Amino acid sequence: MAKKTLHDLEVAGKKVLVRVDFNVPIKEGVIKDDNRIKAALPTLKYILENGGKVIAFSHLGKVKTEEDKVSKTLAPVAKRLEELLGKPVKFIPQTRGAELEAAVNELKTGEILMFENTRFEDLSPEGKKESKNDPELGKYWASLGDVYVNDAFGTAHRAHASNVGIASNIENSAVGFLVEKELKFIGGAVDEPKRPFVAILGGAKVSDKIGVIENLLDKADKVIIGGGMMFTFLKALGKNTGKSLLEEDKLELAKSILEKAGNKLILPVDTVVAKEFKNDVDFKVVSVDDLADDDMGLDIGPDSVKLFAKELEGAKTVVWNGPMGVFEMSNYAKGTIGVCEAIAHLSDAITVIGGGDSAAAAIQLGYADKFSHISTGGGASLEYLEGKVLPGVAAIADKSCGCGCSHKH
Ligand code: ADP
Ligand code: MG
C-alpha cells in the first residue's frame, strides 16, 4: 500500500517531528559538503510555509565514546541550515530533557528548532538506544510532536528509534519529498518499469550484490554486467581472468546465474588491463579471451561500451548500480563514462543510478543531470533494489483507504 506523503499530512499549527539526513562530512567544525542540508530544504520549507512548527533531527556519523560527541555535534549544521533557510534555527544541544521540551513548547507557527545528534543516545548505559530502536526512546521522541515526517532515505533500511520508533508511536506520519522521490523512481523503475527495462550492474564484488542481481534478473529484460564482478562470471565461463578481482567462492553461484539468465545476461567482450592496481603504469585493451596470467582487468574495453550502448538502445527504463571499472583512476574511467554517454543519449527513458560509489561516479564524471534520478541512499538504495522492505518507510502511515475512517491501515 502506498505511504502517506507530505501533501497528505495536515501540518498547520502542528508540532512536526522531521527526521532529516544531515549526516554531512565535517572537519574541525567546517562542513565540507552541504548538499544533504540543501536537499532537505524543500521538505522543511513546505512545512514552515504551511504553518507547521518544525522539530528537526538527524544522526551524524557513529558515536561510540564521549569524545566522539565533540566532532559529531550537529551545531555547525544548525548554523548552516539557518543560513540556507534565511531564518533562525534554534539549536538544542540535547537529545532529551527539560530544555528541549521547553523549546518545543515555545515554538510558534513557522518556527524551527533542531536537536542534537540522535546517536548521542547510543552512549546510554542501557545500550545503543537510537541504533537499537529502544522502545522508550521512540516513544519519548514521539511524545514531543503531533505528527512525524521521515525524509531520511539513507537510514530507511535500518529500524532506529528516530524512524521506526517514532513512527510506531504516532498516529499521523508521512514520508518527506526526498524519500517520496526515491520511492517513486527506484520503486517505480523496479516494480512497474516501462519496457524494455535494462539493468546495468557493476562495482566491486558479486558477493555485495547477489540480492540486487537476483531481483533485477527477475524483473529486467536484460542485465548488463561490468566492473570487478564481471571476472567471476567470465571465470565461470572457463576464461583466464589473470590477476583480476575474483571471488572463487562465488563461481558456482555465477554459473547458476548464467544458466538461469540465458541470453538475458550480457557480459563484456574486452577489458582494460594493467599489471598493477595503479594509474601510472602501462595499460592496454585485450579481448576477454586473451588475458595473461599477470593481467589485472580494471575496466571494460571500448567494444564492450559499444555492445552495451547497443543493448541500451530503445530502453525505456534503466537501473544502474556499480561502476564499470575503477573510475577513480582516469585510465580506467572510460567504461563508466561510455555507459553514462549511452544513457545520456536515450530519449524518453526513466534512468536511475544508485549506490554510494555509483552516485559518486555519475556526479564526479559530470553526468548528474543526465539521469532521471540519482539515488544517494547508499545501503538503502541497494536494499531497495534488492526488493527488500525498508523498515523506515514501512512504519509510515498508509495512504487513506478512502472509506472515511481515521485509523491506520
Ligand atoms: P556502489 O557503492 O555503487 O554499490 P560498489 O561499492 O559495489 O558500488 O563498487 C564500486 C567500486 O568498485 C569502485 O571503488 C571501483 O573502483 C570498484 N571497481 C570497479 N571495477 C573494478 C575492477 N575491475 N577491479 C577492481 N575494482 C573495481
Ligand atoms: Mg560502494
pLDDT tens figures, 212-242: 999 999 999 999 999 999 999 999 999 999 9
**DSSP character at residue 120:** G
Look at residue 74 in the predicted model and tell me its pLDDT. Answer: 98
| Helices 206-219, 251-261: crossing angle, 10 deg rounding | 10
Average pLDDT for 346-362: 93
> Which of 270, 283, 337, 357 has most ligand 1 atoms within 8 Å of CB, for mutation?
357
d(CA 194, CA 112): 41
Ligand nearest to the CA of 381: 1
Look at residue 401 in the predicted model and tell me its pLDDT. Answer: 63
Predicted confidence band of residue 405 (pLDDT cuts 50, 70, 90): low
pLDDT, tens digit, 9 for 90 and up, residues 228-285: 999 999 999 999 999 999 999 999 999 999 999 999 999 999 999 999 999 999 999 9
| Cell 555485495, located at residue | 208
Closest residue to atom 7 of ligand 1, CA basis: 203
Pocket of ligand 1 contains residue 357 by CB under 6 Å: yes
pLDDT, tens digit, 9 for 90 and up, residues 73-96: 999 999 999 999 999 999 999 999
State what percent of residues in the chain have pLDDT above 90. 93
| Cell 577489458, located at residue | 271
**DSSP character at residue 156:** T
Pocket of ligand 1 contains residue 228 by CB under 6 Å: yes
Predicted confidence band of residue 376 (pLDDT cuts 50, 70, 90): confident
pTM for this model (two decimals): 0.89
CA distances from residue 205 to 202, 231, 252, 315, 383 in whole angstroms, order as listed: 8, 9, 15, 26, 16
Q: H or E segment at 30? A: strand 30-31
Pocket of ligand 1 contains residue 361 by CB under 6 Å: no
Look at residue 400 in the predicted model and tell me its pLDDT. Answer: 78
Ligand nearest to the CA of 202: 1
Closest residue to atom 9 of ligand 1, CA basis: 203
Pocket of ligand 1 contains residue 354 by CB under 6 Å: no
User: Could you give the residue numbers annotated as active site?
Assistant: 36, 205, 356, 379
> Which of 295, 326, 330, 371 has most ligand 1 atoms within 8 Å of CB, for mutation?
326
Q: Between the CA atoms of 35, 37, 42 and 47, what dihedral angle is there, to the nearest 10 degrees?
A: 170
Ligand nearest to the CA of 273: 1
What's the gap in Å between 356 CA and the centre of ligand 2? 5
Taking all residues of the chain, what is their mean pLDDT, rounded to a whole number? 95
d(CA 296, CA 274): 5
pLDDT, tens digit, 9 for 90 and up, residues 147-196: 999 999 999 999 999 999 999 999 999 999 999 999 999 999 998 999 99
| Nearest atom of ligand 1 to the alpha carbon of 327 | 16
Look at residue 409 in the predicted model and tell me its pLDDT. Answer: 42
3-class state of residue 201 by DSSP: strand
Pocket of ligand 1 contains residue 226 by CB under 6 Å: no
In sequence order, the 6+-apart residues with CB closer than 8 A to the CB of 98 are none
Look at residue 403 in the predicted model and tell me its pLDDT. Answer: 59
What distance, in Å, lies between the first and last C-alpha atoms of the chain?
9
Average pLDDT for 190-218: 93
C-alpha cell recorded at residue 79? 548554523
pLDDT, tens digit, 9 for 90 and up, residues 95-135: 999 999 999 999 999 999 999 999 999 999 999 999 999 99
State what percent of residues in the chain have pLDDT above 70. 98
Contact yes or no for 321/215 (Cβ under 8 A): no
Ligand nearest to the CA of 230: 1
Pocket of ligand 1 contains residue 326 by CB under 6 Å: yes
pLDDT higher than threshold 90 for residue 407 = no
pLDDT, tens digit, 9 for 90 and up, residues 39-50: 999 999 999 999
Pocket of ligand 1 contains residue 356 by CB under 6 Å: yes
CA distances from residue 172 to 8, 11, 144, 158, 407 in whole angstroms, order as listed: 10, 10, 13, 21, 9
Pocket of ligand 1 contains residue 328 by CB under 6 Å: yes
Q: What are the two backbone dihedrals, phi and then psi, of residue 38, each rounded to the nearest 5 degrees? A: -60, -40
Contact yes or no for 217/206 (Cβ under 8 A): no
**DSSP character at residue 165:** I
C-alpha cell recorded at residue 337? 563514462
Q: What are the two backbone dihedrals, phi and then psi, of residue 167, each rounded to the nearest 5 degrees? A: -60, -35
Pocket of ligand 1 contains residue 338 by CB under 6 Å: no
What's the gap in Å between 147 CA and the centre of ligand 1? 40
pLDDT higher than threshold 60 for residue 333 = yes
Closest residue to atom 19 of ligand 1, CA basis: 325
Closest residue to atom 4 of ligand 1, CA basis: 355
What's the gap in Å between 309 CA and the centre of ligand 1? 20
